Structure 1
Amino acid sequence: MNGVTIDPPAPEAAPQPQPTPPARRHLWTALVIGWALLLVVLAVWSARNDPPSLRDQTTAASAKATIDEVVGQVTAQAPAGATIQDKGYAEKGCSLSAARDGVSLVRTLIVSGPVGGESAMIEALAAALPDAVTRPADGPKEGFYYDAGNYVAARGKVSGEGLVTVDLSSGCRVP
């Protein structure tokens, strides 16, 4: 060899991590805090303004208000000459879950009129309730169903000669 030596290349220094500028760190902190605050505000707004999505989230008092409203509609639409007997509320204990007890409400109205006019009474009472469904669809009516909202159901049926019974039920709720 001619005496020429080749030196190995010098090791390159690893690039040093650059510290994050303080302004960028504060921006991320502000974004995280802003996001958390937005979630809290939306949760509080939702809890106060959204309607219940389950019957268990409503109270017996709210069910009574809905039932009373439907009773007013039904009694206002009762055919001429019909009499209405209000049996009032019947409360029954029920179980919302394994750990919570609730109460179920039923209010019964008995509408009496002329014998043979039961079908006409069903039609008149159902007409007082928007979107009430009568049964059968064709021919003389034997009953109706109405969803009153707030998880309250109204069911009317011919219960005897000249008699129509209307039951308004709430299902199991928080007392």
Structure 2
Amino acid sequence: MTVLWTLLLGVLTWWSARTDAPTVREQRTLGQALPVVQRSVGQLVAAVGDGAWAMTGQRVERGCRVTPMDDGAELTRGVDVLVAEGGERALLESVADRLPEDWRAGVRVSSEGPRLRADAGEFVLVEGRVVTPGRVRFGVQTGCRPLDDVALADLLPGNPGEPALDEALRALGRPADDAVEQVVAPCPGGGTARTRWVEAGPAPMSLAGLTPLAAGAALVDTPEVYAWRRGPVVVLADATGERVRLAASTGCS
């Protein structure tokens, strides 16, 4: 009986290891979480709608501890949204209301201001917070996981051209730049959301030359940030860092 019981336990363990879904985050690799992260970013873009936004690049941080014996890595992606000062909480609540119901998204107010939290499934966390007045950052985080050999590349790699960026560079007196970077995410209803960006030079830099491109209908107009719409593309000039960045984003219809 002991031998038979031991054999039965061995067979059940083998079957469970091969067929059962992982039950904790530490059992899922970073590569397995990547599709969930990509889809979550697409959901955020769709929930943001027609505002001034740009997806942030994919960041992988190594060196965290999955277990006391094993190193891992954490993957983060997100979306930055610019609104009029005072409208940050309304944006967070609007996005929470538009996210899938099973994410259980909600906004709570803490000593650090309003914060959105949601569960995208597969142990992937979605957060939204105010980083500076008028700027809200939504982040999708995997937490620390085993790092596998999957290529952590975006869905459409490469350096494609973008007419809206070339137009903005000319308006700032800068030559066209081939060093365009791109990040993409699948839209919930099909299609692909994308952000392409390029550096326009060191800050500070006057953004006044961009005013004619908005045709009097700027989405955001401050000394350091200027955003407008060019057809379906949202163009954003950000001079808040050490380098001026131009981003052109196409969302989910």
TM-score (norm 2): 0.49
Q: Where do 5+ consecutive residues of structure 2 fail to align?
A: 148-253
Q: Tell me what 1:160 maps to.
A: 132
Number of residue pairs matched by the alignment: 142
Check if 1:39 corresponds to 2:12.
Answer: no
Does the 8 Å contact 2:75/2:142 carry over to 1? Answer: yes
Structure 1 pair 112–85 and aligned structure 2 pair: CA distance change class (3 A): farther
Q: Which amino acid aligns with 2:67?
A: S
Q: Which amino acid aligns with 1:46?
A: S
Bigger Rg over Cα? 1
Query: 1:81 & 1:108 partners in 2: Cα distance?
Result: 15
Check if 1:145 corresponds to 2:129.
Answer: no
Q: Secondary structure at the match of 2:69?
A: coil
Percent identical pairs in the alignment equals 35
Check if 1:105 corresponds to 2:78.
Answer: no
Q: Secondary structure at the match of 2:142?
A: strand
TM-score (norm 1): 0.68
Q: Where do 5+ consecutive residues of structure 1 fail to align?
A: 1-30
Q: Which amino acid aligns with 2:105?
A: A
Does the 8 Å contact 1:92/1:104 carry over to 2? Answer: yes
Does the 8 Å contact 1:90/1:107 carry over to 2? Answer: no
Query: 1:110 & 1:90 partners in 2: Cα distance?
Result: 18
Aligned mate of 2:51, from 59, 81, 103: 81
RCO comparison, higher one (Cα < 8 Å, 6+):
1
Q: Tell me what 2:39 maps to.
A: 69
Structure 1 pair 79–162 and aligned structure 2 pair: CA distance change class (3 A): farther
Root mean square deviation of aligned Cα = 2.4
Aligned mate of 1:132, from 96, 101, 105: 105
Q: Which amino acid aligns with 1:111?
A: V
Q: Tell me what 2:156 maps to.
A: none
Task: Give 1 or 2: higher strand fraction.
Answer: 2
1:26-78 deviation digits (Å, cap 9, x = unpaired): xxxxx667655543332222112322233221100122222111101100111
